[in-house]
Amino acid sequence: MKLPIISTNPADWANSASPANPAKIIGIMSGTSHDGVDAALALIGLEGEGDTGYDAISEYDGISVRVLDHLHVPYTPELRDKISLAFTGDTNHLCRLNFELGEVFAEAALSLMKQSDCEPSSVEAIASHGQTVYHVPSTPGQSGSTLQIGEASVIAVKTGVLTISDFRTKDVALGGQGAPLVPIADYILFHKPGTVRAVLNIGGLSNVTIVGERPGDIVAFDIGPGNSLMDDLVRLHTSGRAWFDRDGSLAAGGKLIGELFDELLANPYFKELPPKSTGRELFGMALVRYVLAKYGNTKPEDLLCTFANLTATTICDAIAPYGPREVIATGGGCKNLFLMGLLREKMEGSGIALTEISHYGVSPEEKEAVCFALLGFLTLRGMAGNVPSATGASRGAILGKINLPG
């Protein structure tokens, strides 16, 4: 049954999902690259113990996921500018953009349902990550905070579907970093008995989940820059005519600037131990402007080459100590052929195979949206969606806020 207003029992928040009655859930993701919104429709259910050929060792092992459809809606240049401004914008701007993005996310969900020939009444929930505009990790003696916008009440009203939002805030309230949030979804999708894998997401920032045999083996954290420094440099260099280095072709024609590389690599964040998280506040436009002020006479392609090497080096240095046999790469960074070449070379030098997520039947564009569909499913089933060992929260918790469509 649909969520009754008087119910406080999470088990009442959705139909009873089972192999015979799985739940259709739409996940919506807008990442730190803010180039567009991804919506994924997934069929998620609870399988019986042992169906995967071995005895389940956690409650998460019985969850099955099938991606039904995916839709990417690019943002207009005007909307991208509005989101960029929101990173340092005033309250009036944030307030208006919050509702505007709610409309955009709702339209993406409705378009996906139309594309999939799926009636809103058959969708159990929409799980929206929102657009992160500011993220302040906790530090000793100082609690953290995080802000994602894209008003979920607008999504619920426009679509007529129960909407779950603000997944990060409960973890932060429990003393956690609020990031990364996809580790339990990565475990559900990619854990394999007897094998350690790393699931690497290269978006605006890069983050990784080390997936072991059990949920308790999970280690996950933000590594540092992904595409952010490269994208912001291209945007400044072209006065907004381009937003990224297509295929990494410009960076491929550049040379590594040793002095700059060493300076960037010395950032204390890279030496911090997990749990840790970061954002564009540290690896974004402010850092790019600093680099341009100091190295203003340097060729843009040399700066891009140096940024790409920084991303590849910090990723490999962060992952290799955990000894994974395989790194499964996803995110927009997979389209940067120069970056992926650097990363593959460094990984192979450490004896690690690098595999793109499309090898497993999931496109890099849809993966994060699928993960938030999974987090929405966990919320509806009354299951913890965070991993305290990854975020530093005091305990596992049911994540998200429920927005009724009525």
222-276 residue pLDDT tens: 999 999 999 999 999 998 888 899 999 999 999 999 999 999 999 999 999 998 9
- Given a cut of 60, whether residue 378 has pLDDT beyond it is yes
310 has which bridge partners? none
Mean pLDDT in residue range 319-341: 96
**Among 67, 59, 158, 137, which residue's Cα sits nearest to residue 361?**
67
pLDDT tens for residues 347-366?
999 999 999 999 998 888 89
- Model confidence, pTM: 0.86
What is residue 53's predicted lDDT score, i.e. its pLDDT? 41
Centre a 10 Å sphere on the Cβ of residue 76 and count the other Cβ atoms it contains: 11
pLDDT at 374 over 50: yes
Per-residue confidence (pLDDT) for residue 57, from 0 to 100: 59
pLDDT of 88 reads 83
Tell whether the model's pLDDT for residue 161 goes beyond 70.
Answer: yes
Strands 205-211 and 197-202: antiparallel
- More confident site: 278 or 318: 318
Rounded mean pLDDT, 164-171:
96
Please, which residues have CB within 8 angstroms of residue 9's CB and are 6 or more apart in sequence?
382
* Domains in the chain with CATH codes: 14-179+366-403 (3.30.420.40), 183-360 (3.30.420.40)
In whole numbers, what is the pLDDT of the chain averaged over residues? 90
pLDDT for 13 equals 44
- Span 76-117, pLDDT tens digits: 999 999 998 998 889 999 999 999 999 999 999 999 999 999
| Beta strand ranges found along 182-292 (DSSP E) | 197-202, 205-211, 219-225
Element at 165 (helix H, strand E): strand 163-165
Phi (first) and psi of residue 335, to 5 degrees: -85, -10
Looking at this protein, which amino acid is placed at residue 307? F
Greatest Cα pair distance, the chain, in angstroms, is 65
Q: Let me know: does 152 contact 165? Beta carbons within 8 Å.
A: yes
Of 2-11, 295-304, 392-401, which range is least confident? 2-11
Share of the chain above pLDDT 70, in %: 92
The pLDDT tens digits for 14-71 are 444 444 468 999 999 998 788 899 999 999 998 753 444 434 457 888 899 999 999 9
11: pLDDT confidence band, cut at 50, 70 and 90? very low
Q: How far apart are the C-alpha atoms of 40 and 68, rounded to whole Å?
A: 8
Between residues 10 and 232, the one the model is more confident about = 232
pLDDT tier at 9 (50, 70, 90 boundaries)? very low
Q: Name which of 4-18, 138-152, 369-383 the model is least confident about.
A: 4-18
> Is residue 358 classed as helix, strand or coil in its secondary structure?
helix
Identify residue 183 by its one-letter amino acid code: P
Phi-psi region of 92 (alpha: psi -120 to 50; beta: other; left: phi over 0): alpha
